[in-house]
Every structure is written in structure tokens, then in C-alpha cells.
Amino acid sequence: MVHPDCIRSLGCVSYHLLRYYLLPLMLSFPDYVIVNEKKVRIVTDFREYIKLMDLLKDEEVEEAEKKRLLACWFLDDPGPDFEECLQALTDFVINYKETKASEEEDNNEEDDTKHNQVIEYNQDAPYIISGFLECYGIDLTEIQYMHWWKFQMLIDGMNEDCELKKRMGYRSIDLNQIKDKEERERIRKIQKQIAIIDHEVTDEEIGDAFGNMMF
């Protein structure tokens, strides 16, 4: 294990960057959330959080029923702290990059740019499965378990040449930023071909969905 003092010796900027990237190697992924200074164990397999996304965006399920179903993601009884547990689960779902984001906020002004949705777990399932096989030799259809944060980190770290990352890259392009007319039309056609059909909930929508169930 790399000692923190060794990392600090490389300088302030390097320390913060290495601290973020080495953190998953230095610590195990959490299998609980902290609520009122108590650990509440939760389900952490990536498949369960894809199901959670589907639940949150299902308009046919009423908020009260969603709230009842979300209790299934807690392995310990939340008891009277259920509302706080929902908030903690929200943070767990969307904040796996919290360390990096909080450090970048110190050096960057708030970005008002609207970001395109780049992945939909169900629609992109074939490319996610093939990407894990191509980049890591991992068959997601056969493994018994993978932590939600690890799943997202491995997607982030995929080779840029794999089909999933190409699709994510094209979806992320803002056509308004492309000056060349022919290139803009080329990218527009590609985006149309790989457009996300079934809307995936964004981080903000996840927070809103959980928030609506707390009141």
C-alpha cells in the first residue's frame, strides 16, 4: 500500500489527484450508509442499482409504492430513520466520484453547460457486456457480484476504442460547438442512429425522485 506521506511528497496537485485515483485501492468499497452516526447495510450489486433506476423512472408506480419498494435496498431495518436513509442511499447512488468532484470545485467556477445523456444501461446492455469482455475479460452475465461503484469506475476506464465508449463519446458532443457544416451533419446522423430511446434518470432526477418520497 502506498503511504499517504509518500504521495504528499509529490506535491499538492499530484497528491490530490493520486489520492482520488488510489483511494479505491486503499479502501474497500462501502456496503453501508451512515445515518445518524449508525451504519445501515445496503445492497451494493450493480444489477440492483440498474433495477433501482428503472423503478425511479417508472411513471406507472406511485410514489408511495416506490418508497415501500426502496426499503428492499436496505439490509438493516432503517426504522424511524427511513427518510434519512433514503437521502443516504441517494448519495450512495450518485456520489461515487464525490471526492474528485469536491476537489475540482475548489479550482473551477460552476459549469452551467447542459450535458447530454451518454448511457442507458438497458439499451446499451450489449455494448456494456462486450466492453467489459474486451477491456477486462469480465463476463457480466456470469459473475455473481460487482459493487455498483466498481461497475461505474470500470465503465469510465474502458478503452476509448471500444464500442460503448465510442457511443458515449458521440452522444456527449454538442453539435452547436462544431463549426464545420459537413462534420456537424456527420455527427448529427450518428447521434440519431444511436440516440437513447428510453430516458435514463440523471443524477439530478435521482435526487428529485428520492426527495419527492421524503415529504
What is the C-alpha to C-alpha distance for residues 98 and 107, in angstroms, rounded to an integer? 15
What is the C-alpha to C-alpha distance for residues 148 and 40, in angstroms, rounded to an integer? 17
Residues 6+ apart with CB under 8 A from 33: 39, 40, 42, 85, 88, 89, 91, 92
What is the C-alpha to C-alpha distance for residues 124 and 167, in angstroms, rounded to an integer? 9
Main-chain dihedrals φ then ψ at residue 48, nearest 5 degrees: -70, -30
One digit per residue, the tens of pLDDT, for the chain of length 215 reads 445 454 444 444 444 444 444 555 656 889 999 999 999 999 999 999 999 989 988 889 998 899 899 999 999 998 889 999 999 998 999 876 554 444 445 444 445 545 678 999 999 999 999 999 999 999 999 999 999 999 999 999 999 999 999 999 999 999 999 999 999 999 999 999 999 986 555 556 555 555 555 54
Q: What are the structural domain ranges in the chain?
A: 4-100, 118-193
The rounded radius of gyration (Å) of the Cα atoms in the chain is 19
Residue whose entry in the numeric block shows the C-alpha cell 461515487: 96
What is the C-alpha to C-alpha distance for residues 176 and 20, in angstroms, rounded to an integer? 33
Cα pseudo-dihedral 154, 157, 162, 164, rounded to 10: 60
User: What 3-state class would DSSP assign to 147?
Assistant: strand
